[in-house]
Structure 1
Amino acid sequence: MKRVFNQIKSLVTYDADREFYSKVFPDSLSQIELMRFRKMSKADLPRILEIEGQGYNYPWKEPIFHDCLNAAHYDCWVCENTENKINAFCIVSTAVGEATVLNICIEPDMRQQGLGRKVMQHVIDTAKARKAESVFLEVRPSNAGAIALYESMGFNEIGVRPGYYKAENGEREDAIMMAYSLI
């Protein structure tokens, strides 16, 4: 019975206090605070692909998302608003004490409102719950907003992967490697 409950619990992140305050004191919480996380499903892929296409010049293709949904150590999350519209998603691999952010994307209209921070905090909290000791990610040097967010949350640059990302005119862009210690 406990195992079944934990499986159900892992599908949705729910905060009863937040739900209460949103109904009783609707102006006390922001739109971002009211958003919820749940596990990504294959039915979400059309919306995920839309956000991915808006967010990146070189978006992942649908088969990659299918592979992630089927991978054993991958957590695939969506963040949706009170109308159940997906506004962000993240995919994290957790194994042998390390969590690696493979993909994170925020709907362009929702950027610079705190949603990226909310998603990253969810990544950190999930990694802690999975007993990870560190969270790793790569980011383009040209993505100054994301770098500033990660640094403000305590991530540190640990290296560079030369020519990691596709760029314009067949060029390649480096990746800044960043880490966050959970211990």
Structure 2
Amino acid sequence: MTWQLRHATPADVDAIMALETSTFDNDAWSPEMMARDVADPNCYYLVAFPPDQPERIEAYAGLLAPRGAPEGDIQTIAVAPAARGRGLGRTLMQALIGEARKRGAREVFLEVRADNPSAQRLYERLGFDEVGVRRGYYQPDNVDAIVMRLVIPAPTMEATA
């Protein structure tokens, strides 16, 4: 299956929240928090959908990266179970990292549940390193968050012949 990505809009919040609440049982964001972030110009949210079904959101991801700030933060990412294992999470992450670079960020941070090894492996493959632990960060489950950081390489110019 192939997907298309597009910038999320406030009209997508209901579909995003359906995926959010089904993916994150006890620590899902509230609809108000999600709507605020999707509408915030300092944030960049993407949704993924099958090309022939633009209303069927199968994944989303969000970045907080004010223009000119040296750091960005991956706020959230979720992929529907039926769409997992096909590189969609990696594609979304790469798009967010690219947007962070465009906005001037030199580092991107994220938190990942300590009990989510598949997400940790994805982030490590993308170049993120563990930099700390936030004890009991995910509530009410009292699960630690592993804080990870990616140093974004400065863009390089190549000479053409």
TM-score, length-normalised on structure 2?
0.86
Q: How many residues align?
A: 148
Q: In 1, distance between residues paired with 2:65 and 2:110?
A: 12
CA contact (8 A) 1:54 1:108 kept: no
Q: Which amino acid aligns with 1:45?
A: V
Greater relative contact order structure (CA < 8 Å, 6+ sep): 2
Among 36, 57, 61, the residue aligned to 1:67: 36
Among 21, 29, 33, the residue aligned to 1:53: 21
RMSD between aligned alpha carbons?
Answer: 1.3
Q: 1:50 Cα deviation (Å)?
A: 1.1
Corresponding residue number in structure 2 for 1:94: 65
Q: 1:159 Cα deviation (Å)?
A: 0.5
Q: In 2, distance between residues paired with 1:41 and 1:71?
A: 10
Corresponding residue number in structure 2 for 1:180: 150
Among 117, 121, 133, the residue aligned to 1:148: 121
For the residue of structure 2 that corresponds to 1:72, the secondary structure is coil
Q: 1:127 Cα deviation (Å)?
A: 1.1
Q: In 2, distance between residues paired with 1:72 and 1:138?
A: 22
Quick check: which has more Rg, 1 or 2? 1
For the residue of structure 1 that corresponds to 2:100, the secondary structure is helix
Unmatched segments (≥5 aa) in structure 1 = 1-30
TM-score, length-normalised on structure 1?
0.76
Unmatched segments (≥5 aa) in structure 2 = 154-161
For the residue of structure 2 that corresponds to 1:118, the secondary structure is helix
